[in-house]
Structure 1
Amino acid sequence: MMRALWTAGSGMVAQQANIDVISNNIANVNTTGFKKSRSDFQDLMYQTVRQPGANSGADSQIPTGIQIGHGVRQVATQKLYTVGNFQNTGNPLDMAIEGDGFFQVTMPDGTLAYTRDGSFKTDSQGRIVTSEGYQLEPAIAVPQGATSIEIAADGVVSVTLPNNTASQEIGQLQLVRFINPAGLLSMGRNLLQETNASGAPTASNPGQDGAGTIVQRYLEMSNVQVVDEMVNMIVAQRAYEMNSKAITTSDEMLGIAAGLKR
């Protein structure tokens, strides 16, 4: 009887973790470039009372056996890299990636981080940076007084200067891809970091070697679907409730057993 208490308790812990993941998805429903996460679960150890396949006679075997499980645990939270909806902003430095790939940004310690958030700005030196001020890699600086900025689908950045009708190329954007993007480490601030699980980044120009293309004046919104998350929340809540009922039932059965001797 005590086993049921611990088994149901593990179910409550797992569903609480599931609600935490769902809540984070809903909280980031309007976060640019955000990718929703999913909880993965595994069953725990089994007590084998009767081994399946064991001999029950000279010419017979036990077909199924008896195995009693000990509950569940959360083993992973996986980011799902489906493409979110595109929103037209009209801002020339807003960029969305149509397809696979990540923008590269340089962190203050010189390391690289990766993001799908294409809401870039310019700093006091004209360099294209993120909202946190991290510089886009490869570095591109917009000349002072530029009257327009154009970013082609292949990542070529051009500007038009005063008293000059011809555009001038000032840089080339690059995107990076990973063998296992789900293995990237989330750092917050819409940034991801390379890990051994993600594999090494492969850089290429947009539209080449499987990388996506650049869509200027658009932003990729979160891929969170609110209706799906609300359904998942209801399912998790009911699973939590049923596990709590199992604990209550086990406690009542223990109470009955304890009251047999009067």
Structure 2
Amino acid sequence: MIKSLNTAATGMAAQQTNMDVIANNIANVSTNGFKRSRAEFEDLVYQTQKEPGSSTGMNAYSPNGVQVGLGVRTAAVQKDFKDGNANVTKNPFDIQIEGSGFFQIQTPDGQIGYTRDGAFQKDPNGRLIDKNGNLLQPEITIPPNISGIEISATGEVRVISGLNDPAQTIGQIDVVNFVNPAGLKAMGKNVFMQSPSSGQPITSRPGLNGTGFLSQGQLETSNVNIVDEMVGMITAQRAYETNSKVIQASDQMLQSINNLR
């Protein structure tokens, strides 16, 4: 009877983790470039009372055996890198990657991070930075007193100084891809870091090597689907409630045993 108490307790803990992941998804429904997560679970070790296929007599074998599971645990929290929808802003420094890939940014401590959030702006020196002051890599410096800026689908940055002046190329925005993007380490602030699981970054021009093209004047929204998250939340809540019922039932059975005379 004690096993059922512990088993149900692991189920409640797993559903609490599931609810935490769902809550984070819903909280970030309006976060640019956010990628939803999904909790994945696996069963724990089994208590084997009879081995499957063990001998039960002369030329007779147990077809199934007797194995009792001891619960569940969280195996992984998987990131879903499916593209979000486009939000047209008409801001010339808002850039969306339409497909796979990440922007490279340099954090204040000199590390290279990766993000899907393309909401960039100028710092006092004219360099493109994200909302946290991280520098876009390679650095793009916008000259002062320009009349227009154009970012092509392949990442070429051009500026126009005067109405009659030809466009001048000032830089190139490259994107980075990974063999296993789900293995990136989420650092918060819309930034990911490379990990041994993600593999090495592969830098290329937008549109090459399986990466997406760039779109100026729009941003990628979160890929969280509220309806799916609500259904998942209801399922987690009911599973949590059912596990609590198992604990109550096990307690009542123990009480019945204690009342035997």
User: TM-score band, normalised by the shorter chain?
Assistant: over 0.9
Which residues of 2 match residues 1-262 of structure 1 at below 5 A?
1-162=1-162, 164-261=164-261
**Structure 1: tracts of 5 or more residues without a match:** none
Whole-angstrom CA distance in 2 between matches of 1:61 and 1:145: 86
Whole-angstrom CA distance in 2 between matches of 1:260 and 1:77: 46
**Contact 1:145–1:162 (CA under 8 A) maintained in structure 2:** no
2:174 corresponds to which letter in structure 1?
Q
Backbone CA RMSD of aligned residues: 0.8
Whole-angstrom CA distance in 1 between matches of 2:64 and 2:73: 25
1:163 CA drift (Å): 5.7
1:43 corresponds to which letter in structure 2?
D
Q: Deviations over 1:136-182 (max 9, x none)?
A: 00001000011111000000000101364211101011000001100
2:109 corresponds to which letter in structure 1?
D
Whole-angstrom CA distance in 1 between matches of 2:227 and 2:78: 19
2:59 corresponds to which letter in structure 1?
D
1:41 CA drift (Å): 0.2
**Contact 1:31–1:221 (CA under 8 A) maintained in structure 2:** yes
1:16 corresponds to which letter in structure 2?
Q
**Contact 1:185–1:195 (CA under 8 A) maintained in structure 2:** yes
**Contact 2:42–2:74 (CA under 8 A) maintained in structure 1:** yes
Whole-angstrom CA distance in 1 between matches of 2:57 and 2:234: 49
Whole-angstrom CA distance in 2 between matches of 1:173 and 1:119: 14
1:60 CA drift (Å): 2.0
SS in 1 for 2:97: strand
- Compute the TM-score of the two structures, normalised by the length of structure 1: 0.98
SS in 2 for 1:56: strand
SS in 2 for 1:7: helix
1:57 CA drift (Å): 2.3
1:87 corresponds to which letter in structure 2?
N
1:197 corresponds to which letter in structure 2?
S
**Contact 2:95–2:219 (CA under 8 A) maintained in structure 1:** yes
Aligned length: 261
1:108 CA drift (Å): 1.1
Q: Deviations over 1:14-39 (max 9, x none)?
A: 00010000000000000000000000
**Structure 2: tracts of 5 or more residues without a match:** none
Q: Deviations over 1:33-83 (max 9, x none)?
A: 000000000100100011001122232211001100000011111110000
Whole-angstrom CA distance in 1 between matches of 2:57 and 2:153: 72
Whole-angstrom CA distance in 1 between matches of 2:13 and 2:208: 45
Q: Deviations over 1:186-237 (max 9, x none)?
A: 0000000000000010000101111110011110000000010000000000
- Compute the TM-score of the two structures, normalised by the length of structure 2: 0.99
SS in 1 for 2:239: helix
1:26 corresponds to which letter in structure 2?
I
Whole-angstrom CA distance in 1 between matches of 2:208 and 2:64: 54
SS in 2 for 1:40: strand
